[in-house]
Amino acid sequence: MCPKNASYYGNRAATLMMLESSRKLSGIFVRGHLREGKCHLSLGNAMAACRSFQRALELDHKNAQAQQEFKNANAVIEYEKTAETDFEKRDFRKVVFCMDRALEYAPACHRFKILKAECLAMLGRYPEAQSVASDILRMDSTNADALYARGLCLCYDCIEKAVQFFVQALRMAPDHEKACVACRNAKALKAKKEDGNKAFKEGNYKLAYELYTEALGIDPNNIKTDAKLYCNRGMVNSKLRKLDDAIEDCTNAVKLDDTYIKAYLRRAQCYLDTEQYEEAVRDYEKVYQTEKTKEHKQLLKNAQLELKKSKRKDYYKILGVDKNASEDEIKKAYRKRALMHHPDLHSGASAEEVGEAFTILSDPKKKSRYDSGQDLDEEGMNMGDFDANNIFKAFFGGPGGFSFEASGPGNFFFQFG
């Protein structure tokens, strides 16, 4: 309209200068918001970080860095929410996963590290948990959460030291609920376990069982101690001859701690006592693979031998005697079984087995080979030609030594010479 008016040109020039200055100032504010947001995110303050990155995007909506950082902050928020839900579900492995992902964006966040340490302790991964908690305590020795997490790592090994850390955490934060509960449980667990051990040593197995059971109800999160309690109760059940219950307790112990050698050994012995030889061999193999000692090797060999022996006839069972039966007891048992299974009274199958059992167990050489698991068919000991009638007659002295007569339909009486 007025192309030759110099003042308009001058005013427009001044306006352009102000716009240029504004653009430069806005650029400075974008970088400032980005830096502020990254600081918040590094410390784990994801919500505050989102606000900073949002301001940066309002100034420069095309800023690629602001866009990416905003996504990162939202990802951390989601990891936090998921971890909170999973912690309530006691899915500690998933919580550890979420915290590891969140710490990639928030490496300076103590809160995430402590939650990770707590869950690692709940999972029994104590060295890892201890390392995380100790790193925080080196930077801040008064951090109550880190002191609590450090105490959790010691509960399985040294309850006295664990209590010291819980007490220290409560000094730093008297209202620390988790430390308070953990401290109370640790003291109660220690006392109850010691009472159970005392009752066991005194031979009061019923009381020991009750005390160990009560102790198991105190702190389900104390994996290592509960594994020991299950194993101890398994020993009590074995003393009470409740072998199936003992096996179940030992199984619970190894579920909590699959490196617990004593529980495997105890369960293996119970398997042997209940003639579950394959299961016993499996446990002894596990032990020997873990600790290759001469003792464990011998235990495995013994179990393998019992398994081999279990696949053949059990002559002791056939005669109804213990494996430590004397020669006289074997003879008496045979006399009793022979009368029950005389070939003229019953089918020959049972009589055959009874006679065969007596032939082996009454001969020291054959009995020794049988007990050691050797093959009886070797060295002329083949039982294929065994005759139950012959051994029966020989044992009772032949003619005149033993007879039976019918005294009426279905009635018999025996007479010894």
Maximum C-alpha span of the chain: 157
Q: Is the pTM of this model over 0.85?
A: no
Which residue's entry shows tokens 């464990």?
296
Which residues make Cβ contacts (< 8 Å) with residue 98, sequence separation at least 6? 79, 80, 82, 83, 86
Q: Alpha carbon of 176 to those of 75, 138, 163, 277: distances in Å?
A: 29, 21, 14, 51
pLDDT at 377: 59
pLDDT value, residue 408: 45
CA distances in angstroms from 300 to 131, 231, 264, 312, listed in the order given: 38, 20, 12, 20
pLDDT tens profile 58-98: 888 889 999 999 999 999 999 999 999 999 999 999 999 99
pLDDT at 324 exceeding the cut of 90: no
CA distance 115 to 363: 70
Distance of CA 121 to the CA centre of its chain: 14
**Any bridge partners for residue 406, and if so which?**
412
Listed ranges 158-172, 279-293, 386-400; the one with the highest mean pLDDT: 279-293
User: What tens digit of pLDDT does each residue of 204-237 get?
Assistant: 999 999 999 999 999 887 888 899 999 999 999 9
Sketch out the chain's domains with CATH numbers.
26-175 (1.25.40.10), 187-310 (1.25.40.10), 320-416 (1.10.287.110)
Provide the CB-side half-sphere exposure for 341 (13 A, CA). Answer: 23
Q: Which residue has the higher pLDDT, 21 or 15?
A: 15
